[in-house]
Structure formats: C-alpha cells, structure tokens
Amino acid sequence: MKKFFMFLAVAGIMTFSATIASAQDAEDPVAEDVVTAPANDLAALTAAAPEVPLHQALKTKFIEGGAGFMSLIIICLILGLALAIERILYLSFSKTNTATLLENVEKALEEGGVEKAKEVCRNTRGPVASIFYQGLLRQEQGLDVVEKTIVSYGGVQMSLMENGLSWISLFIGIAPSLGFLGTVIGMIQAFDAIQAAGDISPNVVAGGMKVALITTVGGLIVAMILQVFYNYILAKIDGLSIDMEDASIRLVDILTKHEEKKNK
C-alpha cells in the first residue's frame, strides 16, 4: 500500500506539473484576435468564438490564482486523495463475512478442537479473524482471559483501521487555510496597487481581488472533496467496528458452549 500511495502521489504531481507547463506555453488565439481586431469587428469575433473547454478554463483560472498557492492547494488534494484511496482499499479488503466465519469456527471446534479453529482463522483475512485467533490462542487460560484479549486486540485493530485519518484531516484543514492566505495576500496586492496608482478604480484592484477569490474557491473545493472521502471512511470503520463487537460476543458464546460440552 505504501508503494501504491507513493506512486499515486508522484503521478499526480507529474500530471499537475505537465498541466501547468502546457497551460503556460499555450497561447489563446481567441484572445489575440480580440486584442488585434478593430472595434467594429469585436461583436462578430465574440459571436464566432468557440466555447472554451472546461479543462482549459481550469488551467486559466489556476494560473490567474497564482502558481504558488494553487500548487500547494493541489498538492493537498493529491496527497489527501492518495491517503483516502489507500484507506478505502484497506478497509474494503478488511471486510469479512462474520456469519460464515463464526459457522466455520464453531464447526471446526466440534470436529477438531481449538487447533482446527485457529487454522480457520489463520486462513481468513480481516480484523475479525485476527481477533478470533488471538482469543483462541488463550482459550486454555479461561474465558475471562479470552474476553480481555479480544477487547485489547480489538483496540489494536481499530487503531490500524484509523491509521492515516489524521493526515487526511490535516489536509482538509490546510487547504482552505492556504486559500484564505492567498486571499489576504491578494488583498494586500490590491491595496499596494491603489497606493501606487493613487486611485481606487476597478481596474487597479481587479488583479488582486481575482487572486483572492480564486485561491479561496480552490481551497474550499479541495476541503469539500476530501471531507466527503473522510466521512465515507469513517462510515466504513464504524461498520467494521460493529461487526467486530458483535462477532466477538458470539465467539465468546461459542467457546462457552464448547467448554460446557467438554465438561459433561
């Protein structure tokens, strides 16, 4: 998973860099025509101009927002998405059919005892099977020890499932902060332009205001995208934790019945 995360992050950064380079190198023929055309032909050129594609519009807005802050915001998006995808894959592979696993463990206990039940758990992936295995390892020490082991190892599995969420939360907070920082800098640039020109006309402050608005929008969009993934991951973790708790209780019941049969 670590290799997958690193590959995704590097690929995203390379794609992002290539996009910036192509946007900076490309010239807008429509803009050149508008500048060089006579005033009486402006309406005709506007009517005949093709609709700008979405990706080209995004490139333009990215450059207008300032490569410095917008690059940092996009890096937050790439790294946050890479971590989110890694967590989603991990949690998807951790999903186990607990009902089937419990049936197999109970059947193995009846046919071959604890050793065969441990073999069933070893051959099953997921945190629930790992918890079962740790509990069965201490079955000879009594059910009280088994219960404590299940609770303790359940906490370990929860920590493993939540690994990386703090970084996603960090990027959710950093992205809009970078946008707001770009907003403040854009406002400073606007006031500097007013001071230099001695005028408060819209043309003087338009550049700084545009930078301020674009960076803010970019940071908020990135934060909203990562927030959706973050909540989805939390929902999957909650579902897995409920399965673990329910399955652990049923395992203790199965072991209790097994001990009662042995003592008869």
Mean pLDDT of 46-55: 52
Residue keyed to tokens 């927002």? 65
pLDDT per residue over 225-244, tens digit each?
999 999 999 999 999 999 88
The residues near 166 (Cβ < 8 Å, ≥ 6 apart) are: none
Match 């333009």 to its residue by tokens.
60
Q: Give the rounded percent of residues in the chain with a pLDDT score beyond 90.
A: 17
Position 43 scores a pLDDT of 45
Would you say residue 34 has pLDDT above 70?
A: no
83-115 pLDDT, tens per residue? 999 999 999 988 888 888 888 888 888 888 888
pLDDT at 210: 67
Q: How far apart are CA 2 and CA 253, in angstroms?
A: 38
194-233 residues labelled b (16+ CB within 10 A) or e (exposed): eeeeeeeeeebbeebbbbbbbbbebbeebbebbeebbeeb
Q: pLDDT tier at 3 (50, 70, 90 boundaries)?
A: very low
Residues 6+ apart with CB under 8 A from 149: 134, 135, 137, 138
Band of residue 52 on the pLDDT scale cut at 50, 70, 90: low
Q: What share of the chain has pLDDT > 70, as a percent? A: 67
Instruction: Name the more confident of 62 and 250.
Output: 250
Q: How confident is the model at residue 256 (pLDDT cuts 50, 70, 90)?
A: confident
More confident residue, 104 or 31: 104
**Domain layout of the chain by residue ranges:** 65-264
Between the CA of residue 164 and those of 7, 82, 160, 189, 234, what are the distances in Å?
17, 10, 9, 37, 12
pLDDT value at 192 more than 60: yes
- Asked whether residue 164 carries a pLDDT value surpassing 60, the answer given is yes
How far is residue 195's CA from residue 10's CA, in Å, rounded to a whole number? 43
User: Residue 199: pLDDT above 80?
Assistant: no
What is the arithmetic mean of pLDDT over 33-52? Answer: 45
Q: Is the pLDDT of residue 12 over 80?
A: no
Residues in CB range of 204: below 8 A, 6 or more apart? 190, 193, 194, 197
Q: Which long-range contacts (CB under 8 A, 24 or more apart) does 4-11 make?
A: 4/86, 4/89, 5/82, 5/83, 5/86, 8/78, 8/81, 8/82, 8/85, 9/78, 9/79, 9/82
Structure tokens belonging to residue 166? 């703090």
Q: How confident is the model at residue 72 (pLDDT cuts 50, 70, 90)?
A: confident
Residues 111-150: tens digit of each pLDDT: 888 888 888 888 888 889 999 888 888 888 888 888 888 8
Average pLDDT over residues 55-80: 70
Secondary structure class of 153 (helix, strand, coil): helix
Q: What is the mean pLDDT of the segment spanning 65-92?
A: 86
Give the pLDDT score at 66: 58
pLDDT of residue 231: 95
